[in-house]
Amino acid sequence: MSGLDILVEDGFRPLRGKRVGVIANSTAVDRRSRSIVDLLAAAPDVTLAAIFTPEHGFAASAESENIASSRTRVAGREIPLYSLYGGGIRGMRPKPEQLQGLDVLVFDIQDIGARFYTYLATMAMALEEAKAAGVDFVVLDRPNPIRGDIIEGPILADSNLRLVTPTAYFQVPVRHGLTAGEMTLWHNRSVGHPRLNVVKLRGWRRGLWHDQTGLPWVPPSPNMPNIEAAELYPGIGLFEASNLAVGRGTPAPFRWIGAPWLRAEEIVARLQGTVAGVKFSVEDQTPTKSVFEGQLCRGVRITVTDRDAMRPLTVFRHLALALRDLHPKEFEWRWDEVKRMVGVDEFRLLWETGADEKAFSALFNQGPRDFESARRAILLY
């Protein structure tokens, strides 16, 4: 049961007698697929006073942004609707005037489990603003969809990057293994909000994938249609800091990489049978958006054969080194973005000095070792 399910079961007791603002999108549904907005609007002795939406708003199937401020009708009442996206990183924060009159701010959004996915950065900024405004903060927890017992990738080194981009807001590994509630507790160590309440999951175990929980899957964003895309996202998503297409605008987002110049057959021949839990195949695609829109691309399809054995950051490393060796002129990184997403300058140093996979593996494995012990105090499950 999700935090929202527990809240409903408890008769909304923590919110009774209060004016409530909710940060949510289309993923904020209970086990019966009822939206938190409708549930709060109908809850006894609860006043739904404001709705805040992150990137993509409530549109999980379209690339869209909310307008900065609007109103929507819920249960016959007009309620303010505010976007927490647009205008750079400052635009992701609730404004003091939007929080005025609220007693509590509730966060309920399904995350993906990768540091550079933006929803938990929205949560963190809202927590900071709620503390400043003297507003209580409640997180309705949801599962980490790609398991909570596996940690991968470097820990973000530069804490100042959180002032620049929501994709680098937390000093945690790329695949952090935390739920939204646990990440809130992690962030609150520095924020110090005295009235933070995490409504815990019931029945979740850290080794579960989302499709093993019995909870409904609602695409958190247009290019995250299913758990298969989420499985590979922490690794393949790193290529968004390059000139490579990652499957946006194809039937296989984050399960395919491609470019018009890619020597796909050679990459597949080099990698086949070398990476646990996946197989590689040649597949051409013509993306309908993003990188190489409308261009026929030679590509490599990544098929997960054993998701428990597969490690997306390992898949990334092997693909990246194949690209370095086979396409030294065509393949390019945008190094500022690489630093934000991978998290450490050492990646560029290893890349430019021709280091082998063993050296990259050592760099990527240090973060999980350090974080495993650092996160223990905030684990809820």
For position 81, what pLDDT does the model report?
93
d(CA 219, CA 27): 7
Task: Show Cβ contacts of residue 122 under 8 Å, excluding neighbours closer than 6 positions.
Answer: 23, 54, 55, 84, 92, 109, 166
Check whether residue 185 and residue 246 sit in a common domain.
Answer: no
For position 68, what pLDDT does the model report?
42
Question: What does the block give as tokens for 243?
Answer: 């000139």
Task: Identify residue 164 by its one-letter amino acid code.
Answer: V
Check whether residue 126 and residue 10 sit in a common domain.
Answer: yes
Report how many domains make up the chain.
Answer: 2
Q: Is the pLDDT of residue 61 over 80?
A: no
Ranges 75-89, 101-115, 256-270, 330-344: which has the least confidence: 75-89
d(CA 240, CA 184): 26
Alpha helices, H only, 66-173: 96-99, 119-133
Residue 349 covered by a domain? no
% of the chain with per-residue pLDDT over 90 = 92
Check whether residue 65 and residue 198 sit in a common domain.
Answer: yes
| Band of pLDDT at residue 63, cut at 50, 70 and 90 | very low
Q: pLDDT by residue (tens digit) across 299-333?
A: 999 999 999 999 999 999 999 999 999 999 999 99
Check whether residue 161 and residue 243 sit in a common domain.
Answer: no
Q: pLDDT by residue (tens digit) across 166-216?
A: 999 999 999 999 999 999 999 999 999 999 999 999 999 999 999 999 999
Which domain, by its residues, includes 274? 227-344
Check whether residue 201 and residue 85 sit in a common domain.
Answer: yes
d(CA 98, CA 120): 20
Check whether residue 30 and residue 177 sit in a common domain.
Answer: yes
Q: Is the pLDDT of residue 276 over 70?
A: yes
The owner of tokens 């209580």 is: 136
Residue 371 covered by a domain? no
Residue 369 covered by a domain? no
Check whether residue 24 and residue 114 sit in a common domain.
Answer: yes
Q: What is the CATH number of the domain that holds 267?
A: 3.90.1150.140
The residue from 344, 359, 376 where one domain ends is 344
Q: What is the mean pLDDT of the chain?
A: 95
Burial class (CB in 10 A: 0-12, 13-18, 19+), 19: middle
Check whether residue 157 and residue 271 sit in a common domain.
Answer: no
Residue 323 covered by a domain? yes
Check whether residue 149 and residue 263 sit in a common domain.
Answer: no
Residue 361 covered by a domain? no
Residue 8 covered by a domain? yes
The residue from 202, 220, 238 where one domain ends is 220
Provide the phi-psi class of 226: left if phi over 0, else alpha when psi is between -120 and 50, else beta.
Answer: beta
d(CA 85, CA 90): 9
Residue 360 covered by a domain? no
Is the separation of the CB atoms in 237 and 152 below 8 Å? no
Check whether residue 216 and residue 232 sit in a common domain.
Answer: no
The residue from 203, 220, 237 where one domain ends is 220
Question: What does the block give as tokens for 176?
Answer: 């952090």
Q: Is the pLDDT of residue 59 over 50?
A: yes
Residue 13 covered by a domain? yes
Check whether residue 190 and residue 288 sit in a common domain.
Answer: no
Nearest to 231 by CA among 138, 303, 170: 303
Check whether residue 174 and residue 244 sit in a common domain.
Answer: no
Q: What is the CATH number of the domain that holds 158?
A: 3.40.50.12170
